[in-house]
Structure 1
Amino acid sequence: MNTIIQSPLFGILLSIICFEIALTIYRKTKFPIFNPLLICVLIIVFILIKFNISLDDFNIGGKLISFFLGPATVVLAVPLYRQLSLVKKYLTPILLGITVGSFTAIISVIYLCKLFKIDKELTLSLVPKAITTPIGIEVSKIIGGIPAITVSAIVITGIMGAIIAPIICKVFKITDKVAIGIAIGTSTHAIGTTKAMEMGETEGAMSGLAIGIAGLITAILAPILINLIN
């Protein structure tokens, strides 16, 4: 039994099976809080605790999935290619929107953490919460954060964004597809982008574009803003 658990195949298969179960639940209910990633994580945590399986054993296969996470985002270029005319038309507003969104995400975390007297190392770990995981981990290392906490914050941010984004658009009557996609991608990275793709191809393409640009801008701005504020 230990040989099976300590095999890379165990973590990979468990992740795939749990995600398929979570996806089925979401498709049946269509309720935003039943986000497939959230449900998948909860099922995996339950199984690990119930059967006393260590996180290290699970991560033997889990790390392989993480390794392919970066290259997998290349798929987002397909819908973006189909929307190139819109990108060219709204290039300036798109870049300004992503820059302002990234700046706001960093500043809001820093000042809210100061307000609630949160430890400096934890604050630095939360700064890259709004960007995609591979970039967020590297930014966290550069600025002195804890990558494991950063990953958790990124996942929670993405899930909350995927749940809240459609509600905010409805409440504030935001109907422009480009604006919706850019806002979701800038603030909730890849997890939010899955929701944007459900909303429409244009929203998904713009959200995918925002992921990469927001990651790059955050990587540049975060160290500068942290030094200035400190």
Structure 2
Amino acid sequence: MISTMIQTSIQHPLFGLLVTLASYQLAMELNRRTRSMLAQPVLIGTLLVVGVLLLLEVDYATYNESAALVWLFLGPATVALAVPLYTHLRRIRDYFWPLLAALLIGGFTTVLLTLGLAWLLGADEALLASLAPKSVTSPIAILLAEDLGGSPALAAVFVMITGVAGAVMAPGLLKLAGIDLPAARGFTLGLNAHAAGTAVALEEGEETAAFAALAMSLTGAVTAILLPLFYSLAG
């Protein structure tokens, strides 16, 4: 009887959506109660989803098909980040040149250090191409990795690891460094941890979220333009 109910639930067209939303809600509650940087909602939510799929022996294709609505709402949710951007447009203009310098220097340094360390550890060209776009959002990273000769699947994994690690570590490191300015905190989170960092910035406040959204958007655009150029010159 229980087995039949479980199978019926798995075959429901909204099974994946329910598991995703329930896991994230539990992760948010855990984060609220513990306030621990290790209880990062994206990290805990992902682990819960993976745990449920393994426990119920559900393959990724089945989960992905029933969680399609998550991807459907991802676009509008991303566009909605334009609201805090517009609200704090004056502040963004005031910091335009420092932000531009941070974007170019930070983005270049991130790629250079990543590729340099991976090369020293013996990574091949395909792995390097998959690692290079790790600091941008998944859709851009996947296309870039494929264009550079890397693995789109590996690129998606590296993006997720980068985002979760940045979201977990960045708030503590920023606090340790004494960086309290919302603009600086938000831009750092968006630059280094893309969507996951922007989610953390949203929890800190609207101004922090605005600068995180700006950094995430600009990093994706600049990387998409300059990374293939860098590869062509290096090759």
- TM-score category, normalised to shorter length: over 0.9
2 CA distance for matches of 1:118 and 1:49? 30
In structure 2, the residue corresponding to 1:131 is in which secondary structure? coil
> Which residues in structure 2 correspond to 1:31-180 (within 5 Å)?
31-180=36-185
What does residue 18 of structure 1 align with? 23
2 CA distance for matches of 1:147 and 1:6? 28
Residue pair 1:177, 1:202 contacting (<8 A) in 2 also: yes
What does residue 214 of structure 2 align with? 209
What is the letter of the counterpart of residue 123 of structure 2? I
Residues 139-161 of structure 1: CA deviation (Å, up to 9, x unaligned): 22222222222122111111111
Alignment length (residue pairs)? 230
Residue 3 of structure 1 and its aligned partner are, at CA, apart by 5.9
1 CA distance for matches of 2:208 and 2:225? 26
The percent identity for this pair of structures is 37
Residue 96 of structure 1 and its aligned partner are, at CA, apart by 1.9
2 CA distance for matches of 1:63 and 1:136? 20
2 CA distance for matches of 1:62 and 1:104? 36
Of 199, 206, 209, 1:194 maps to 199
Residue pair 1:130, 1:189 contacting (<8 A) in 2 also: yes
The alignment's TM-score, normalised by the length of structure 1, stands at 0.92
What is the letter of the counterpart of residue 34 of structure 2? T
Residues 171-212 of structure 1: CA deviation (Å, up to 9, x unaligned): 222233222221111111111112122223222110111111
Residue pair 1:33, 1:163 contacting (<8 A) in 2 also: yes
2 CA distance for matches of 1:63 and 1:99? 35
What is the letter of the counterpart of residue 190 of structure 2? G
1 CA distance for matches of 2:162 and 2:86? 27
Structure 1, unmatched stretches of 5+, are none
The alignment's TM-score, normalised by the length of structure 2, stands at 0.91
Query: Larger RCO: Structure 1 or Structure 2 (Cα < 8 Å, ≥ 6 residues apart)?
Result: 1
What is the letter of the counterpart of residue 173 of structure 1? G
2 CA distance for matches of 1:6 and 1:147? 28
2 CA distance for matches of 1:62 and 1:133? 17
2 CA distance for matches of 1:71 and 1:223? 28
1 CA distance for matches of 2:83 and 2:228? 32
2 CA distance for matches of 1:4 and 1:172? 48
Residues 34-89 of structure 1: CA deviation (Å, up to 9, x unaligned): 11111111111111111211111111123442343233211111111111111111
1 CA distance for matches of 2:151 and 2:205? 35
1 CA distance for matches of 2:11 and 2:126? 32
Residue pair 2:14, 2:67 contacting (<8 A) in 1 also: no
1 CA distance for matches of 2:194 and 2:148? 20
More moved, 216-225 vs 166-175: 166-175
Residue pair 1:98, 1:183 contacting (<8 A) in 2 also: no
Residue 215 of structure 1 and its aligned partner are, at CA, apart by 0.1
What does residue 33 of structure 2 align with? 28
More moved, 194-203 vs 26-35: 194-203
